[in-house]
Homo-oligomer: A and B are copies of this chain.
């Protein structure tokens, strides 16, 4: 039986390869914050966005980073609990809250952001500057071509 599926090889399947690379690199960096603080990947990402862009609402974080709102909500709660983030009422919408890093939160972000930058440089060095840029461009094209379904991420 000449089945079309006979031609299928998981090792050549793009979603699989992407996951492999994503997991390998994420894990590599995860070691940096996991051992030091007990962060979740989501928590780290929320912090990274607030660190980079300053105060914003949970909704903004969702929109920018394509993280599901449930995850953001829980990450925010955890970061607040840890004293790294604080909430303030939004001036324009009483449902929303303006989120921002506390002094301690900014300090942690400064440290982890530095580590992240170094880690990223290491990865790019593996590929070479030119190929690294190519990869970034290809990934963006792919992610954009497959619009985030209902949910978003992970």
Contact = CB atoms under 8 A, between A and B. Distances in A.
Contact of A13 (B116, B134, B147): B116
Nearest to A135: B138
A22 B27 contact: no
Contact of A126 (B8, B132, B142): B142
Main secondary structure of the interface of A (DSSP, over half): helix
Interface of A: 3-10, 12-29, 31, 45, 48-49, 51-52, 65-66, 109-114, 116-117, 119-120, 123-124, 126-127, 131-132, 134-136, 138-143, 145-149, 151-154
Given A15-B25, A15-B120, A134-B138, 12 more contacts: A4-B117, A5-B117, A6-B113, A9-B52, A14-B120, A14-B135, A14-B136, A16-B45, A19-B153, A22-B22, A24-B146, A127-B138
Contacts of A51: 5, 8
